[in-house]
Amino acid sequence: MNLKEKMEKVALFAKEKRDRAIIKNPDYSARLIYRWQHTLRVAQYGKILAEKEGAEIEIVLIACLLHDIAKLSDRSRDVEHGRIGAKMVRPFLKEIGYSDEDAENICYAIATHVDGKSDFEHPHTLEAKIVSDADKIDRFSNYRTTVALGKFANDDYESLILAARKRLVRFQKARREIRIQTENGRKAFDEQISLQVVYMERLIADYEISVLPKI
């Protein structure tokens, strides 16, 4: 099986889990659909970072596509979801032909993508660093900002601007505190945050000039 076929199998595996979770809990449908779209973007970012950093692209792509499997199947949404996800996919990875070594490498990246911690022994790989970085880049996407602010679209202007100010603080904190582990991941993450910061600052500035000009 080539990589394209493996990716298709992995996508099918993930989407079946998602669809079962949606049937069980239709109220979570939007959240679970978002989770798969996020997963696809993480794979896109992961591919670019793997190429730039000289990592094993196949390991990164498969780990990216499975990194949130525990969330996607509504098994876990907390800090443990990486480690739970790694346990969920190990037998499946063997089934589609991965060696023990490759399966462990993929599982390690999934297990550690949230907080860098694993519940099994494994060297801290470049591939794991990239999966974690790719995930963090998409946490601060335009989409997330739009959805977060969209909740205030029908409220008064002040509520929207208050939300924008809070989000601006959050972006600045993320830039300082979120652990990014590769050089190219850092560049892409900073660029992502900078775009959001400029957008928030402009949104707030528009509010502040919604007054008569000073003479």
Q: Which residue ranges make up the site for Fe ion (CB under 5 A)?
A: 68, 135
How many Cα atoms are found within 13 Å in the side-chain-facing hemisphere of 126? Answer: 13
* Nearest-approach distance from CB 207 to Fe ion, in angstroms: 32
Closest CA to 59 of 120, 104, 123: 104
Taking the least distance from each CB to Fe ion, the nearer of 138 and 161 is 138
CA dist., res. 157 & res. 117, Å (int)? 42
* Nearest-approach distance from CB 158 to Fe ion, in angstroms: 33
Taking the least distance from each CB to Fe ion, the nearer of 39 and 125 is 39
* Nearest-approach distance from CB 205 to Fe ion, in angstroms: 32
Closest CA to 46 of 30, 32, 57, 33: 57
* Nearest-approach distance from CB 214 to Fe ion, in angstroms: 47
Taking the least distance from each CB to Fe ion, the nearer of 3 and 79 is 79
Taking the least distance from each CB to Fe ion, the nearer of 65 and 161 is 65
* Nearest-approach distance from CB 40 to Fe ion, in angstroms: 11
Taking the least distance from each CB to Fe ion, the nearer of 80 and 102 is 80
CA dist., res. 132 & res. 115, Å (int)? 9
CA 93 to chain centroid, in Å, comes to 21
Helix locations, 67-99, DSSP H: 69-72, 81-95
CA dist., res. 185 & res. 188, Å (int)? 5
Return all residues near 144 (Cβ < 8 A) that are at least 6 apart: none
Taking the least distance from each CB to Fe ion, the nearer of 82 and 161 is 82
* Nearest-approach distance from CB 188 to Fe ion, in angstroms: 15
CA dist., res. 57 & res. 128, Å (int)? 11
